[in-house]
Amino acid sequence: MNNAAALAQPTPTRSLPVPHAPAWSVDAILALFELPFTDLLFRAQEALRANFDPNAVQRSTLLSIKTGNCSEDCGYCSQSKRYQTGLDAQPLLSTAEVLAAARAAKEQGAGRFCMGAAWRGPKEKDLPAVMAMVQAVKDLGLETCVTLGILKDGQAEQLRAAGLDYYNHNLDTAPEFYGDVVTTHTYQDRLDTLRKVREAGLKVCSGGIVGMGETREHRAGLIAKLANLDPPPESVPINNLVPIPGTPMAERAAIDIFEFARTIAAARVTMPRSYVRLSAGREQMSAAEQTLCFLAGANSIFYGDHLLTTSNPQMELDNALFENLGLRGV
């Protein structure tokens, strides 16, 4: 229906329930992947422009508030105590240290401040310290996000009361490939945490990692799982694996940039109202490759010199890229 026809439709005289959007099947998402590349990017741009300012990019800064010595065996992660990666473990930061980093992030143009702790999940004794960090960052006027692992009953509510906006908990990959990535917790554990986050009234940040040896069908399966959450995540980080020496995935071959851009575009088309974040692995991309991802519908980045334990493009390079492309950070 064209715009004129839509405007000609009669206005309903009473409020009607809005049906839930139809589910995206893996086959339907595979069909997106298989479109001619420019057709897929056109679809992604249509979805982006219908829901967002296409020249505005949300910028988040990520700080590791507790580093290393994690009990889990995620095959991509330098923070697992099961692998020899040369990472120096660090205890939980103080609120003052976190607040100083958040002030610097705000001054440099970040709109959201994300705090990550290498835990299977937060212990009750650690939660008050994290809540104090959230409250302090919120008081600066920044959006707040934490990623703390698997949540117990009641913890999401406590975090919301402290002023938390977003909880990040990635699904990582499709259910069928998950056992090749991690064995110390289940896919259902992750879905259960996302359910608790939703029930507490928090916004969800959830995405995955590509380039771990999965197939295109697995990538489509990840997108399907995310898109069919009710509602889909407000923020969807798409990470490109950074192979870390000492981890089981240290020798994984880099994914083709066009396949990565197709994944971004599939996320944009299936989750048109979500921020799709170009996340880990961005430092390994040229300016042209990053631009391709923006064309594919990415409208969020991690902004700063480091992520949790891996490096990130320097802010000066990001600012120059934004200026060249006519983008503005929000």
Helix, strand, coil share (%) of the chain residues, nearest 5: 40, 15, 45
Token pair listed for 254: 């880099």
Which residues lie below 8 Å from residue 169, measured CB to CB, with a gap of 6+?
147, 149, 150, 151, 190, 193, 194, 197, 204, 205, 206
Catalytic residue check, 219: no
In whole angstroms, give the CA distance from residue 198 to residue 200. 5
* 257 and 290 Cβ atoms separated by less than 8 Å: no
CB 69 within 8 A of CB 319: no
Choose, from 43, 59, 205, 293, the residue flagged as catalytic: 205
Q: Which of 43, 77, 219, 282 is catalytic?
A: 77
Active site residue 293: no
d(C-alpha 308, C-alpha 284), whole Å: 16
Q: Identify the active-site residue in 59, 112, 114, 190.
A: 114
Q: Which of 178, 182, 259, 191 is nearest to 221 (CA)?
A: 178
Short-list 177, 181, 95, CA closest to 138 = 95
Closest by CA position to 134, among listed 119, 145, 148: 145
Q: Active-site residue among 43, 112, 160, 277?
A: 277
- The active-site residue out of 43, 59, 112, 145 is 145
Q: Which residue of the set 43, 70, 268, 282 is catalytic?
A: 70
Q: Of the listed 43, 59, 74, 190, which one is catalytic?
A: 74
Whether the Cβ atoms of residue 280 and residue 308 lie closer than 8 Å to each other = no
Annotation says 268 is catalytic? no
Q: Which residues are catalytic?
A: 70, 74, 77, 114, 145, 205, 277
